[in-house]
Structure 1
Amino acid sequence: MTKWSAVFIGFILAVAVKSFFAHYEFVGLLIVGFITGYIAHSGALSGLWNAAVAGALGTIIAAILFVLIVTFGGSFAGMFGGLTGFTLSGVASIITIIESLIYYAIVMGITGAVGGALASKN
């Protein structure tokens, strides 16, 4: 049911939206979800599933990149400050990541279903 080519393209686009277009994140996720569902080309349910998986992977990769940037932020002294700061805010960070994961999966999944439904009619 999962088409990994569509998921891979969707997750790359989701990371790009999160990284470069943060002000337009909602609209960007709608567009990325639609594209992912359309590429899946197997109906509404498949489009929903593939876009939700792409959104979840995009959130996980964006969170990992954020942790790496904060932890190893430029110098050796920055590494210790980043590790301490990340340790102190670990619970808050996990809650924020889970919220983002659910948000990305829902927003991208809804428009992925629309894209998959339109693609299956052709």
Structure 2
Amino acid sequence: MTKWKAVIIGFILAVIVKSFFAHYEFIGLLFVGFITGYIAHDGAIGGLWNAAVAGALGTIAAAILFVFIAIFGGSLFGIFGGLTGFTLSGISSLFIIIGDLIYYAIVMGITGAFGGIIASKK
């Protein structure tokens, strides 16, 4: 049921949207979910599933990138950088990551279903 080619492409695009186009995140996720569902060519349920998996993986990768930036890059900015800053924001960041995981999966899943519907009609 999971088409890994579509999931990996959607995952990479989701990380790019989160990293470079954060102000346009919702619109970017709509496009990425549609593209993932279209590449899957598996109907509405398959497109929804593949886009949701890609969104979840993209959230996890973006969270890992955040951890590396907080640990290594943030240490140049004083007391709130490095491990101290990550420890202070760790609990609240966990809830934000879980919320983003659900958000990415839902938004990308819905448009992935539309992409899957369009791809299956050809």
Please give the TM-score of this superposition, normalised by the length of structure 1: 0.93
Query: Counterpart of 2:105?
Result: 105
Q: Report the TM-score, using the length of structure 2 for normalisation.
A: 0.93
* AA at the equivalent of 2:95: I
Offset at residue 75 of structure 1 (A):
5.8
Residue identity (%): 79
Cα deviations by residue, 1:30-58 (Å, 9 ceiling, x for unpaired): 00000000000010000000000000000
5+ unaligned residues in a row in structure 2: which ranges?
Answer: none
Would you say how many aligned residue pairs link Structure 1 and Structure 2? Answer: 122
Structure 1 position 81, deviation (Å): 3.8
Q: Tell me, which stretches of 5 or more residues in structure 1 are unaligned?
A: none
Aligned to 1:90: 90
Q: Deviations over 1:42-90 (max 9, x none)?
A: 1000000000000000000001001101101176897x94111111221
Q: Give 3-state SS (helix, strand or coil) of 2:10's partner.
A: helix
The structure 1 segments of at least 4 consecutive aligned residues displaced by more than 4 Å after TM superposition are 74-78
Determine the C-alpha separation between the residues in 2 that align with 1:77 and 1:27: 32
